[in-house]
Amino acid sequence: MPDHDTHQGQPHILVLGGNFAGLAAAQDVRRLCGDTVRITLINRRDYLLFIPNIPADVFANRNPADHQIVPIRPILKKSDVTFIQAEIGAVDVDAKSVTFVPNERSGEESEALTYDYLVIALGNRLSFDRIEGFAEYGHTVSDLYHGEKLRKYLYDGGYKGGPVAIGSARFHQGNGAAGLAPYPGGSIPNALSACEGPPLELAMSMATWMGEQKTGGPEQITIFTPGETIAEDAGLEIVKKFLGLAGGMGMKYKNNVQDIKKLTATTIEFANGETIDAELKILLPDWVAHDFLKGLPISDDQGFIITDLLMRNPKYPNVFAAGDCAAVTVPKLGAIGHQEAEIVAMQIAKDLGHLSAEKADQKLEPVVMCIGDMGAGKAFYIRSNVWFGGKDEVLEIGRVPYQLKMRYRDMFIANSGRIPAIGLVLAQFAAEHIKV
Ligand SMILES: Cc1cc2nc3c(=O)[nH]c(=O)nc-3n(C[C@H](O)[C@H](O)[C@H](O)COP(=O)(O)OP(=O)(O)OC[C@H]3O[C@@H](n4cnc5c(N)ncnc54)[C@H](O)[C@@H]3O)c2cc1C
């Protein structure tokens, strides 16, 4: 058995997943519960992938593997969290048990761990395998491999200056968040794409890159969305401004494409029957639940984990979810996962008598916070909650948001994966009040 027994007899908190949501949840539980609990985190790799900054590296001709990896073993050690590098294969919520296979070497044995509290923060499958022709003709920026592949394609002469299509496949949201009202009169809306900040960011960065490289310009780019409106989660006013900007630059925009059907060397076919020319296709896929989470008594009809707005499963109150795998996380944003991880920790601390209900019961009020690189040292900053029934809708464009995007990652690493609350407040203030 792995060495996780230093706090024998204490409540065991088992965290599944060690990227943004899982790491934050483990750290927050330790912070709020002190040394009264035993915490174990299982993740298939021993580093955090800083996904949001991969696109900026690609367009600046940097290999993302050199910058966007944050080793988690030392971070978890600081919080006295036992780390197990393993592939999780099954969750049994009745037996309170999780089955995993250590994966440092092939052929390792299957083991099981029991828990008192389970935090599921396993993200989703990004299902590029469901886009016909993606392997041969598609590009993306969602991991180190694909980021580096696109960087080489752009900088080593692969791209010949032809039309570019940027957009998302259709997202199939489950029914697990139906009826939840995060703001008075609001709801968790039904999204037709999982996360549309990246396509906006990619379109702007690509346009700047084309100008710098003198290979065409924005009029070569088509941004598309499966839904009625791209990045609807940012709020309609922001989208209007954004589309005005993109249209003014000459970019084309296609909505209601329904889904990506097929890629060929020179085209992209959509489910609505349209086909457009595209030499370069930079795509975001459907976010699909992991197979082993489907059909569980804690999962919705698509396999996303059902929770209330305190991130607790209603049928199994010792099971929590945070981040992309939670049914309420719409859109799939790391920033929302962070909010949720903190709520999870407060709930566990409340259950264990370390926090009053008054302090702990702070329901999720999702806020879309997104900083997108636009190239040439500029970025856009979005802070909005109108999609969920809130009243805030802020868009800023300039050099300050770019600096914030870059510094946020540096701060994240320097603070072992934590951004002090004051840092976030200052970042918000700087983005919204300092114009350069
Ligand atoms: C190109 C791009 C740009 C983005 N930009 C932004 C942005 O600017 N701002 C923002 O807030 N969000 C952004 N996002 C979204 C953000 O990356 C995700 O919302 C975030 O990564 C979700 O965090 P998570 O911890 O819930 O899940 P993940 O990051 O997906 O982490 C899940 C973890 O679980 C592990 N895991 C999964 N299955 C298993 C298994 N069976 N066994 C063991 N371990 C397993 C994985 O290895 C991983 O470590 C972007 C996404 C993309 C693709």
Please tell me the distance from the alpha carbon of residue 149 to that of residue 142, in angstroms, as a whole number: 11
Whole-number average pLDDT of the chain:
94
pTM of the model: 0.96
Report H helices in 262-324. Answer: none
**Residue nearest atom 7 in ligand 1 by C-alpha distance:** 52
Tokens 């934050």 belong to 24
Centroid of ligand 1 to alpha carbon of 324 (angstroms): 7
**Confidence (pLDDT) at 407:** 86
* Closest residue to atom 37 of ligand 1, CA basis: 122
Per DSSP, 227 falls in state S
Protein residues with CB under 6 Å of any ligand 1 atom = 17-22, 42-45, 51-52, 54-55, 87-88, 121-123, 141-142, 195, 197-198, 290, 323-324, 332-335, 337, 370-371
Rounded average pLDDT over 204-219: 94
Which atom of ligand 1 lies at the shortest distance from residue 284's CA?
A: 53
Mean predicted confidence (pLDDT) in 230-257: 95
For the segment 173-190, what is each residue's pLDDT rounded down to a tens digit? 999 999 999 999 999 999
b/e map 16-39, b = 16+ CB within 10 Å: bbbbbbbbbbbbbbbebbeeebbb
Pick the more confident residue, 404 or 23.
23
How many angstroms does the Cα of residue 365 sit away from the middle of ligand 1?
20
Ligand 1 mean position, distance from CA 321 (Å): 14
Residues paired with residue 394 on neighbouring β-strands, in sequence order? 383
Number of H-type helices and E-type strands within the chain: 11, 21
Tell me, what's the pLDDT at 316?
Answer: 98
Give me the domains of the chain, ranges plus CATH numbers.
Answer: 12-125+288-360 (3.50.50.60)
Q: What pLDDT does residue 420 have?
A: 56
* Spacing, Cα 48 to ligand 1 middle (Å): 9
According to the model, what pLDDT value does residue 265 have? 98
Residue 429 has pLDDT above 90, yes or no: no
Closest atom of ligand 1 to 371 CA is 8
Distance CA 212, CA 206 (A): 10
pLDDT in tens, 93-105: 999 999 999 999 9
CA of 266 to the centre of ligand 1 (A): 30
The percentage of the chain sitting over the pLDDT mark of 70, rounded to a whole number, equals 94
**Residue-level pLDDT at 2:** 43
CB atoms within 10 A of CB 310: 18
- Asked if residues 17 and 59 have their Cβ atoms less than 8 Å apart, the reply is no
Q: Which of 10-24, 115-129, 146-160, 370-384 has the lowest mean pLDDT?
A: 370-384
Q: Average pLDDT, stretch 225-236?
A: 96
